[in-house]
Amino acid sequence: MKRYKIPFIKPDFPAAEDIAKDYKEILAANWFTNFGPFEERFSKKIANYIGEEYYACTLSNATAALLASILAVLGKGDGTKYVLMPSFTFVAGAAALTWCGYKPLFIDIENKGLHMDIDQAEKAINEGGDNIAAILFCNAFGVGATDIEAWESLAASKNVPLIIDSAAGFGSLYSSNRKVGGAGKCEIFSFHATKPFAIGEGGAVVSRDSELIEKIISIQNFGFNGGGNAAYLGFNGKLEEVNAAIGLRQFERFSNILEGRRRVWRAYQQGLPPKFKLQKNAANASLCFAAVLAPDEDQRDTSLKNLIENGVEAKTYYNPSIHKQSYYKNFDRYSELTVTNDIDSRILSLPIHDNMSDDDLKLIIDTLND
């Protein structure tokens, strides 16, 4: 594997001494998983972070959180109904829907925020009627969609549940007074080592609906609702105590983490040539990386090549979009996905680290200005 001078992701974890203290506590309590004291505190912190009126539960990763949320909101499907989702996202949502017995129906995106196109989604619902079971909205790269209220209105007016995959977006804002995490039926987060809020493997679901969260807790614990009775189709998706301990430590560091990441984004915003466009509302995001649109595919490919030659690990997420990946290439799509294909050809993902040196930033910005 090539070693880059500037890796794409540079996980930033709490100090070993701090986790050692927590681990001693875990050993003393002799409680390693199954909703122990660290997990209890961590899930409460997550809920409080989003807002007073919210409930939250943790899971072993965001894919488990997607599976449990879909099962809790919709129940297991019989393989005939569709759920609207973008193709321009990470594959986990499409996999989770398929495992749960729903067919992803790929909807195109808009070219500013890179989120699902609401007009196309509305048409798909009007034409699909009862065959549309839900909307799986995705906050692309964890950046909050500025039109999230319109999505909530659409879901309410059509009586279709809105589930939101905000995996990379813990710490992001929809707008100055609304955090990502508080919209729709529920929102899903990932705390994977590559996300801005990193604990290793981990995930969470946040909702206003305490009963829904209770149901998701049952589903991730084999479906048990007390007394060893499986009331739901469940699986094992629980978070371990040691990961919850890392999460509590990350909360102490999180405002610095966010500030460090936004500083890098602002440097890109100021330093990149104007022909490169940054994703709308990314200034308010937690920024797993910076999504940048080149004017055309040639420019993107040249820039990518120059970055890599200079030791910068840049990427092209989410290219290939899901509908181009071999398992999903025959899945249904509502349209030609023209914008998705265009964005795939022009997207460039630039590294953002919590503490990126001025020299590293300069190397990236100078390379793109050449």
Ligand X SMILES: *Cc1c(COP(=O)(O)O)cnc(C)c1O
Residue where the block lists tokens 């039109």: 147
Say whether residue 165 binds ligand X (CB under 6 A): yes
By beta-carbon proximity to ligand X, the closer residue of 58 and 89 is 89
Applying the rule CB under 6 A, the residues between 231 and 250 that interact with ligand X are none
Tell the smallest beta-carbon distance from residue 69 to ligand X (Å).
12
Say whether residue 90 binds ligand X (CB under 6 A): yes
Whole-angstrom distance, CA of residue 55 vs CA of residue 53: 7
DSSP category for residue 129: G
Say whether residue 192 binds ligand X (CB under 6 A): yes
Of all residues in the chain, what percent are helix, strand and coil, respectively (each to 5)?
45, 15, 40
Q: Choose the binding region for ligand X from 7-15, 88-96, 303-311, 334-342 (rule: CB under 6 A).
A: 88-96
Q: What tokens appear for 10 in the block?
A: 């540079």
Q: Which amino acid is at 364?
A: I
Tell the smallest beta-carbon distance from residue 137 to ligand X (Å).
11
Contact 258, 286 (CB under 8 A): yes
Contact 203, 188 (CB under 8 A): yes
Tell the smallest beta-carbon distance from residue 34 to ligand X (Å).
20
Contact 308, 277 (CB under 8 A): no
Burial of 269 (0-12, 13-18, 19+ CB in 10 A): middle
The contact pattern for ligand X, residues 19-58, with x = CB under 6 A and - = no contact, is: ----------------------------------------
By beta-carbon proximity to ligand X, the closer residue of 203 and 234 is 203
Contact 140, 167 (CB under 8 A): no
Say whether residue 62 binds ligand X (CB under 6 A): yes
Distance, C-alpha 368 to centroid of its chain: 27
Q: Choose the binding region for ligand X from 12-20, 32-40, 86-94, 266-274 (rule: CB under 6 A).
A: 86-94
Per rule CB under 6 A, count of chain residues that contact ligand X: 14
Say whether residue 61 binds ligand X (CB under 6 A): yes
Distances (CA, A) of 22 to 26, 152, 239: 6, 40, 15
Applying the rule CB under 6 A, the residues between 275 and 334 that interact with ligand X are none
By beta-carbon proximity to ligand X, the closer residue of 168 and 368 is 168
Q: What tokens appear for 338 in the block?
A: 């023209």
Q: What tokens appear for 61 in the block?
A: 């990763």
Q: Choose the binding region for ligand X from 61-69, 179-187, 226-234, 325-333 (rule: CB under 6 A).
A: 61-69
Single out the residue of 109, 101, 100, 158 nearest to residue 137, CA to CA.
109
Say whether residue 190 binds ligand X (CB under 6 A): yes
Applying the rule CB under 6 A, the residues between 193 and 232 that interact with ligand X are 203
Say whether residue 346 binds ligand X (CB under 6 A): no
Residues forming the site for ligand X (CB under 6 A): 61-63, 89-90, 92-93, 138, 165, 167-168, 190, 192, 203
